[in-house]
Amino acid sequence: MGYKEEFIRFMVQSGVLTFGDFVTKSGRNTPYFINTGNYRTGEQAARLGEYYAACLLEHMDNGDISPDLQVLFGPAYKGIPLAVATSVALFTKHGKNVGYCFNRKEKKDHGEGGNMVGHVLQDGDRVVITEDVITAGTAVRETLPLLQAAADVRVEALLVSVDRMERGTGEKTAIQELYEEYGIRTFPIVTVKEVIETLHNVPVDGKIVIDDAVRAAMEAYMEKYCVY
């Protein structure tokens, strides 16, 4: 079993990938939801960082991301543990020392001040953003001005747990829009199609989470909102 299949099962076992009736940040009713806020233990954080690190290193090996990477940026709040866990995994498992930083929701007006914590961004720094999912690209659009205000950095890529493969503000996917608007490439650990293919009628800890009915609901949602 490859790291992608392992990651999909890990999300289900952690209560992060769930199925039912939900509303996304972009306001769409969806039959499945990914909530990285449900990771709660040190073991989960460690494994999560390893999956993100595996995805990052795969794309470094492919030449998609420069190996000369200075920092991982985690947008508050869910992106913060993702950046930290990935940075730790890169060092402890692969001997690669990469900094991390994240933003505060409100600018600090005492002590050292500012709204950034961790690695101090410098002009020319190569940055990879860590997020949980990408639906319409809203979170990334909110993040870029923060990075640009801190320094003249180069955003190498966006890493996400799952690509929902959904249209953004127009007829293209959010990933396509982000690349066309900002030149930022998005690399998911897995796509929603891979989730369906991996879990359809396959038990996780003895339970089927995507049966024929759930698959039909997910495919109907994709037909309405996705590009694939």
Determine whether 105 is an active site residue: no
CA atoms within 13 A on the CB side of 80: 11
Determine whether 108 is an active site residue: yes
Give the whole-angstrom CA distance, residue 131 versus residue 102: 11
Quick one: which of 104, 54, 108, 55 has its CA closest to 80? 104
Angle at 24 between CA 11 and CA 35, to 5 degrees: 25
Q: Which of 110, 172, 193, 224 is catalytic?
A: 110
Give the whole-angstrom CA distance, residue 194 versus residue 213: 17
Q: Which of 25, 107, 108, 224 is catalytic?
A: 108
* Lookup result for tokens 């090996």: 61
**What residues are labeled active site?**
108, 110
